[in-house]
């Protein structure tokens, strides 16, 4: 039996020294890429070739490589995480590409996500939004209740879990023509708004997180729905609507 033929590809990759310098696309050729390898494994092979040539390898983010951490985020051929659906970049396999194809690889494009180097961006804006209210304060004085002792309707529990599936990769921001983070913030607000444990700080939470989101320079939502389509975890637009309702109720209550 003959061995499976590997892919011969042309890669146009964004290279940028840091956020202060001007970047540009550089073209690389790579041969005999297994269709069974992941996209990040292909980049690993490319970097090994580049290092062997005595040149600086391409910087890109990665961690778990299991679709959990969201660190591997790349813009590939005009789509966040590439030409598949419901996956992160590390879950993208080379079988999705054709022999001889040209693949364009870019970092996230958003003013709130400045480039660190090459394909790596600084997504600490998400961390600051979370620090503004994406948590539940716990009084550990001995008066706390076991969470399992508080009844929660299954429908609410399911919706809260669906919202909590957000991994903060930033595909919603990269895909949105306005660079909006509404899907991310909506998911983080919703996962607590639907549960009794989250109601105590609900008003303060949504006001603080929306304020932090605006201060970070994310754009406004225009309800085109691109964020939901490209979200690797399928976070629903319903979470944006819920966040808006929570925000309006908090504003009215605040007077």
The answer to whether residues 110 and 130 belong to one domain is no
The answer to whether residues 88 and 127 belong to one domain is no
Residue partners of 225: CB distance under 8 A and separation at least 6: 237
The answer to whether residues 146 and 235 belong to one domain is yes
Average pLDDT over residues 161-182: 97
Nearest residue to 187 via CA among 129, 229, 248, 243: 243
Q: Domain boundary residue among 82, 116, 150?
A: 116
Domain-located, residue 1: no
Position 140 scores a pLDDT of 66
Domain-located, residue 103: yes
The pTM is what? 0.93
Position 150 scores a pLDDT of 82
The answer to whether residues 97 and 81 belong to one domain is yes
- End-to-end CA distance of the chain: give it in Å, rounded: 75
Report the range of poorest mean pLDDT among 39-43, 81-85, 134-138, 230-234. 134-138
| pLDDT higher than threshold 60 for residue 141 | yes
C-beta separation of 115 from 16 below 8 A: yes
pLDDT band at 138 (very low <50, low <70, confident <90, very high): confident
**CATH number of the domain to which 98 belongs:** 3.10.20.30
The answer to whether residues 53 and 168 belong to one domain is no
Position 144 scores a pLDDT of 66
Domain-located, residue 161: yes
Alpha carbon 233 to chain centroid distance?
9
Domain-located, residue 167: yes
Q: Distance between CA atoms of 55 and 140, rounded to whole angstroms?
A: 54
Nearest residue to 73 via CA among 98, 110, 101, 46: 110
Q: Distance between CA atoms of 43 and 59, rounded to whole angstroms?
A: 10
The answer to whether residues 82 and 102 belong to one domain is yes
The answer to whether residues 156 and 112 belong to one domain is no
Domain-located, residue 189: yes
Average pLDDT over residues 100-106: 98
What DSSP string runs through the chain?
Answer: -PPPPPEEEEEEEEE-SSTTSPPEEEEEEEEEE-TTSBHHHHHHHHHHHHHHTT-PPPP---S-SSSSS-TT--EETTEET-SSSS--GGG-BGGGS-TT-EEEEE----TTS-EEETTEE--HHHHHHHHTT-S-----SS-PPPGGGS---HHHHHHHHHHHT-----HHHHHSTT-B-HHHHHHHHHHHHTSHHHHTTHHHHHHHHHHHHHHTT-B------HHHHH-TT---THHHHHHHHHHHHHHHHH-
Work out how many domains the chain is built from and give that number: 2
Q: Distance between CA atoms of 181 and 220, rounded to whole angstroms?
A: 8
pLDDT band at 1 (very low <50, low <70, confident <90, very high): very low
- Considering the chain, what is the average pLDDT of its residues? 94
Residue 170 belongs to domain spanning: 123-253
pLDDT tens track for 43-102: 999 999 999 999 999 999 999 999 999 999 999 999 999 999 999 999 999 999 999 999
The answer to whether residues 133 and 248 belong to one domain is yes
Domain-located, residue 2: no
pLDDT tens track for 44-57: 999 999 999 999 99
The answer to whether residues 221 and 194 belong to one domain is yes
Q: Distance between CA atoms of 69 and 87, rounded to whole angstroms?
A: 12
Structure tokens at 64: 């778990």
């Amino acid at each position: 039996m003959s061995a499976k033929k590997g892919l011969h590809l042309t890669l146009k990759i964004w290279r940028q020294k840091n956020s202060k310098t001007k970047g540009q696309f550089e073209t690389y050729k790579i041969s005999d890429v297994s269709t069974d390898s992941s996209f990040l494994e292909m980049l690993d092979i490319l970097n090994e070739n580049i290092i062997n040539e005595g040149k600086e390898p391409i910087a890109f983010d990665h961690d778990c490589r299991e679709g959990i951490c969201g660190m591997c985020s790349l813009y590939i051929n005009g789509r966040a995480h590439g030409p598949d659906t419901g996956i992160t970049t590390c879950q993208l396999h080379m079988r999705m590409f054709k022999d001889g194809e040209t693949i364009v690889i870019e970092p996230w494009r958003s003013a709130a996500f400045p480039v660190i180097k090459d394909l790596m961006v600084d997504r600490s804006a998400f961390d600051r939004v979370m620090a503004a209210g994406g948590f539940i304060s716990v009084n550990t004085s001995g008066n706390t209740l076991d969470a399992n002792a508080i009844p929660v309707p299954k429908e609410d529990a399911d919706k809260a879990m669906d919202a909590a599936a957000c991994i903060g990769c930033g595909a919603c921001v990269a895909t949105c023509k306005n660079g909006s983070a509404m899907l991310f913030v909506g998911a983080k607000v919703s996962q607590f708004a639907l549960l009794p444990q989250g109601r105590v700080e609900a008003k303060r939470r949504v006001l603080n997180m929306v304020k932090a989101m605006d201060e970070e320079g994310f754009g406004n939502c225009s309800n085109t729905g691109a964020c939901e389509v490209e979200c690797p975890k399928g976070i629903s637009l319903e979470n944006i609507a819920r966040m808006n309702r929570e925000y309006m109720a908090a504003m009215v209550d605040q007077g």
